[in-house]
Amino acid sequence: MSLRKLIGVIHPRMAVVVHDLLMAALAWWVAKALRYALVDNAAISFHTLEFPLVLLVQGAVLSWTGLYKGVWRFASLPDLWNILRAAVLGTLAIAAVLILYNRLDDVPRSVLLLYPAVLCVLLGMPRLTYRFWKDSRVDLFQAKPTQRVLIVGADRAGEALSRDLHRDNGYTVVGFVDDKESLRGASINGRPVLGRLEQIPELAREVAAQMLLIAMPGASTQEMRRVVELCDLSGLPYRTVPKLEDVVSGRAHFNEIKEVAIEDLLGRDTVELDWTAIRVTLTGRRVLITGGGGSIGSELCRQVARLGAQALCVVDHSEYNLYRISQELRAEYPELIYESILADCGDPAAMRKLFAEYQPQVVFHAAAYKHVPMLQGQLRAAFRNNVLATRTVAELADRHKVECFVLISTDKAVNPTSVMGACKRVAEIWCQNFNEHSDTHFITVRFGNVLDSAGSVVPLFRQQIRNGGPVTITHPEISRYFMTIPEACQLILQAAALGKGGEIFALDMGEPVKIRDLAEQMIRLAGRKPNTEIPIVYTGLRAGEKLFEELFHPLENYIETTHAKIFLAQYRPVKWDLLYTQMTKAAEAVVAYDEDALRYCVSNLLPTFRWSDSAQPDNVVSLRRNESGEK
């Protein structure tokens, strides 16, 4: 076997142990030599077992103090402290053993003072010299300076990431951190596992890291928050790799380095779905998605296409949004029978032609106006798009024997205080009660805010941070429910599979998030400091805005379903004749642009709704039993 192969099979830590034992023997010999040369000027004498005992005791102390967990490449003050501690404790232990062996015969007491000093020099100098050499060495074949990165996570993702970075001259991996005990002292692709996650700030300083890369694609949201907090303490920039579900779904590539997004910290753990039931509902079916170019609609399109729908028809009144989702779907799913229709769902003629030609079997109605402050002074536009368009599409679904109609609703429809919420609640009432008069299964799915959707607070904050602030929040205590767009769409599909008709399903949104905390976290993710580098300004609640949202009305008495994250709100009946009459009057008021009459109709439909900009009309007729607690 050649010398190179022999060295290759020797574990690096074994070489360190041999080196340290040799240095301990040399230190003991030097200490005695100095003593005899300076004092007695006599020959040195050793007992037979003196060296073996010294090496055995000192080796055990060196191991016990954890010196071999350190890496010479990153030797620093903590390593020197360990050496000093091991030298002093080792001297005391050696003295105790030699007293028992030969009562320190031929071992002057001054040797015990010289030995630890000499040992510290012999153990410390090689380590510091090696680090200095590695740090100052210039790679002549490297075209540009590299960025020193510390990888957080030493599992398969971290190992694969280190290999990819090794091929990229722009990065140099200096080590790993991981909480797994089995990885203590291990080496991955020639780079050491330096310590635990909680040591990230100090280890990053010791190894002079310039960036942290989080390679924990399977981490839960709670684990991710902890890691990001530790990375924040280091003061270094940090990036991450995509989550496993994003890689599997095709939304990201494995080991793609990206900035940590707010979704990584405020999203929830992976949703477990009954994909068999969902496929039974969608596979081989003709599906229509209204508002298919929007945030929720476009993700529904992707998931429906992925689940093997026979044909997909997408309707949107935004030319750009429709173009964008059309290009994506045609590129990703060339075998899918796909049609895009540029139309307004409130246009009865366009909708009649669409249903007659494409004969959809499943309809997801996601088209709606949703900007609360803007709609507060736009009752006619909100009612026309969020209510009358829903009625038009629902009636055509009934006429063309659609199997399942899913209305995408919002938590703002519960005890509404805004025009937007009131209109979505009226749409819920219509679909829930129309189900009793149709063979189509009308299902409503209600949920809160989705992270990074168009018009949501997340892109607004991101733009404000990019502009240097201030970040504007209406109230310091305002809170909202949040979930990611993919999770919301997956639960919508699951609710569609569960529904038998007439239900209002509410998605489990987890714990509400204070908007103030959301803003502060986004500022930190941008590498800035909240309230110092980026100010936060409170502007006051806007008209129709709630301090907190609700997912259920107190009278709905929600119950659990077979899915842990989907709840069912109990049905609240409405007198159908009066409901139909008020909807007809409201439609006439929209055509006549009579907002007073329209306001009157909405108040009749929602007796508990209070208008924020004018008095509630008189002589309001209650159409519903138990809507306000009275018959």
SS3 of 473, please? strand
Beta bridge partners of 552: none
Q: Which of 132, 125, 108, 135 is nearest to 39 (CA)?
A: 108
Interstrand relation of 286-290 and 211-214 (parallel, antiparallel or unpaired): unpaired
Q: Which of 321, 160, 320 is nearest to 254 (CA)?
A: 160
Is the alpha carbon torsion for 294, 298, 304, 307 positive or negative?
negative
529 is catalytic: no
Q: How many residues does the chain have?
A: 631
Interstrand relation of 362-365 and 286-290 (parallel, antiparallel or unpaired): parallel
Kindly state the helix (H) or strand (E) to which residue 15 belongs, with its residue range: helix 12-35
Judge contact between 589 and 599, C-beta under 8 A: no
Phi, psi angle pair for 150, to nearest 5°: -110, 125
Alpha helices, H only, 235-347: 244-248, 262-266, 275-282, 295-306, 319-332
Q: For 345-390, give the secondary structure using H, E and C.
A: CCCHHHHHHHHHHHCCCEEEECCCCCCHHHHCCCHHHHHHHHHHHH
Alpha helices, H only, 103-155: 109-136
From the candidates 412, 424, 546, 565, which is the catalytic residue?
412
DSSP state of 303: H
Residue 223's Cβ-side half-sphere holds a number of Cα atoms within 13 Å equal to 14
**How far, in Å, CA of 387 to CA of 252, rounded?**
37
DSSP state of 269: S
> Nearest-5° angle of CA 117, CA 120, CA 122?
110
Q: Which of 475, 448, 278 is nearest to 362 (CA)?
A: 278
What amino acid positions are annotated as catalytic residues? 412
